[in-house]
Amino acid sequence: MAVISAIRLGGVCINTGTIPSKTLREAVLDLSGLRQRTVYGVDSLATAVTIEQLLTRTREVIQHEREVVRAQLQRNGIDVFHGFGRFENPHEVAFDGEEGSGRISGKYILISVGTVPSIPAGLNIDHETLLTSDDILTMPHLPRRMLVAGAGVIGVEYASMFAALGIDVAICDVRTSFLDMVDGDIRALFQKQLERAGVTFHLGEKIARVEPGREHTHNVVMESGLVLPADVVLVSAGRTGDTAGLQVEKAGLSVDPRGRLVVNSNFQTSVPHIYAAGDVIGAPQLAATSAEQGRLAACHAFNLPSESVPALFPYGIYAIPEIAWCGKSEEELRADNTPYETGIANYREIARGTILGDSEGLLKMLVHQKTRDVLGVWICGSQATELVHIGQAVIALGGKLDYFLRTVFNYPTLAECYKVAALNGMNKLRAQGMTKAAPHAG
C-alpha cells in the first residue's frame, strides 16, 4: 500500500485546517485571559497578546501530529511518496515532487485530496490584507479591525477567536441567516454571545469592492452602499475540492462546479475501483467523519466487514463558545411531525459551569413524547464538543430519558447537565399527563 501526499503528512486537517484552528483557539483562551476575566472580573488584558505567542504552540502541535501520522504509516508498512499526484489512466497515478517523480499503479485507488478555499469573483487575495483561512498561520501581526466575509463554520470560528483578543470584528454574508443546520435556540444563543463579545453581524450583504483607506485600513464597500473599515479581510466563502491538477478525466471521472466528486453509499465513484472520501465529496466536511469515510471505503474495497451509523455522527463548531450536537433538531422533528419534548439545562444551574465562569451555556435534550427515546442533544457552551459524546452514546444504544433520570454523575461536572435536562423534560411530560411508564430502556 502507498500514499501520495502533495503537502506535509496530515493534509489540510493537520497543516492548515482542523489542528491549527483548534490549537489556536486554546491559545487564544489561555493567553487572552478570557476565562480569568470572566471569573475574576478583570476588564482588560494584562499584557498585549502577539501573533507569535499564539502561533508558537500551534506550530508545536502541528509538528507533533505530523510525527504521529508518520509513525502510524511506518508501523503499518505503508510507503509514502511526496509530490503532486495526477491520473495517467484509471489504474495509474503519477507524481512529481522535490524528492523526485514516479508512477504508481493500484488495483484500488482512494482520492482524499481535501479542499482549498473558494475565492468569490472580484476579490483579489493578496495573502496580506485580504486573506483566506490558510493564511492565518503566516499573519505578521494582529489587526485592530477585521472583517470576516462569510458566516459559515470557519468564518464564525475565527471571528469568535479574534473577538476574544479584543479585536473589532464584523461578519458579513450574502445570506440572510447563518449556520442554518444548527438548532434555532442554540444558534440564537450563540449569536447573542458573539455580539456580547463585540462581533457585529451584517447579513444579506454582498461585497462590491475593497478600496484603500487611511493608515493601512481598507474600506469594504457592500452592494447596498454600506462601508465597513477593516485592516484585514478574512475571506471565508466555503471550500472547493482540490482536484484542479488531478486530471480525473483520464480516469474516467468528472467533478462538479465546486471540484467535488460524487460517490455512492460505499464511497465508490462512477469508476468502481476508484473511491473518494473526506471533504472532496462534500458535507459534512469534518475531520472525524472524513476518517470514518476512508475506513469504510477501504473495508469495502478489500471485502472486510464494517458498520457505521452516519445519522449519529457528532458535529462540533469550535468557536468561543463551542457548539456541538448529535441527532435531530427541533426543526427536523417538527418537519417529520414527530411528537417531542425538550429538556433544558442552563450552565448557570450547574456548579461546574459556575466554577468555569460560564453562565450562558446551555444543553438541550430532545425526547419522544410517548416512548421517551432520546432523539437529539444540542449544546452551546464550554466543553460542548466533549460533552456531546455522552448523548451520542445513549442515542446509539437506544437509550431513553429514563437513563439520565437513574444515572448519577460526578459532582461538580458539566455532565450533570444531562441529569438536569432529563428532570426538566420529565416535569414537562408530567404536566402534559405523559408520564406513563415508557418501554424498558435496554
Instruction: For cell 444579506, name the residue.
Output: 204
The H or E element containing residue 301 is helix 287-301
Q: Cβ distance 345 to 417 under 8 Å?
A: yes
152 & 210 share domain: yes
For residue 33, being part of any structural domain is answered with no
Q: Cβ distance 232 to 143 under 8 Å?
A: yes
For residue 210, being part of any structural domain is answered with yes
Among 236, 364, 380, which residue's Cα sits nearest to residue 319? 380
Residue 310: Cβ within 10 Å count: 11
Among 375, 376, 346, 371, which residue's Cα sits nearest to residue 361? 346
Question: pLDDT by residue (tens digit) across 50-61?
Answer: 889 888 889 999
| 230: β partners | 218
Measured distance CA(218)–CA(235) in Å, rounded: 14
109 & 124 share domain: no
147 & 220 share domain: yes
Question: pLDDT by residue (tens digit) across 259-311?
Answer: 999 999 999 999 999 999 999 998 888 888 899 999 999 999 999 988 877 77
186 & 231 share domain: yes
- What is the amino acid identity at position 389? H
Question: pLDDT by residue (tens digit) across 168-222?
Answer: 999 999 999 999 999 999 999 999 999 999 999 999 999 999 888 777 788 999 9
Instruction: Answer yes or no: is pLDDT of 437 > 60.
Output: no
Residue 417: Cβ within 10 Å count: 32
Range of 155's domain?
A: 119-237
Measured distance CA(84)–CA(78) in Å, rounded: 18
223 & 282 share domain: no
State the average pLDDT for the chain. 90
3-state secondary structure of 419: helix
The H or E element containing residue 104 is strand 100-105
The CATH number given to whatever domain includes residue 325 is 3.30.390.30
For residue 35, being part of any structural domain is answered with no
Q: Indicate the residue among 207, 222, 237 that finishes a domain.
A: 237
Q: Indicate the residue among 273, 288, 311 that finishes a domain.
A: 311
Region 36-49: mean pLDDT is 60
Q: Which residues are CB-neighbours of 300 under 8 A, at least 6 positions away?
A: 266, 267, 268, 275, 306
For residue 29, being part of any structural domain is answered with no
For residue 356, being part of any structural domain is answered with yes
139 & 218 share domain: yes
340 & 197 share domain: no
Question: pLDDT by residue (tens digit) across 306-335?
Answer: 887 777 889 999 999 999 999 999 999 999
Q: Cβ distance 382 to 358 under 8 Å?
A: yes
The CATH number given to whatever domain includes residue 209 is 3.50.50.60
| 202: β partners | 172
Sign (positive/negative) of CA torsion 162, 164, 167, 170? Answer: positive
Q: Indicate the residue among 293, 311, 329 that finishes a domain.
A: 311
422 & 328 share domain: yes
For residue 176, being part of any structural domain is answered with yes
E strand residue ranges, 248-307: 274-276
DSSP 46: S
Residue 151: Cβ within 10 Å count: 22
Q: Is 124 exposed, middle or buried (0-12, 13-18, 19+ CB in 10 A)?
A: exposed
State the pTM of this model.
Answer: 0.91
142 & 83 share domain: no
- CA-CA-CA-CA dihedral for 350, 353, 359, 363, to nearest 10: -70
For residue 173, being part of any structural domain is answered with yes
302 & 259 share domain: yes
159 & 255 share domain: no
Structural domain count, the chain: 3
End-to-end CA distance of the chain: 42
Question: pLDDT by residue (tens digit) across 377-411?
Answer: 999 999 999 999 999 999 999 999 999 999 999 99
For residue 18, being part of any structural domain is answered with no
Instruction: Answer yes or no: is pLDDT of 44 > 60.
Output: no
Measured distance CA(314)–CA(388) in Å, rounded: 7
215 & 250 share domain: no
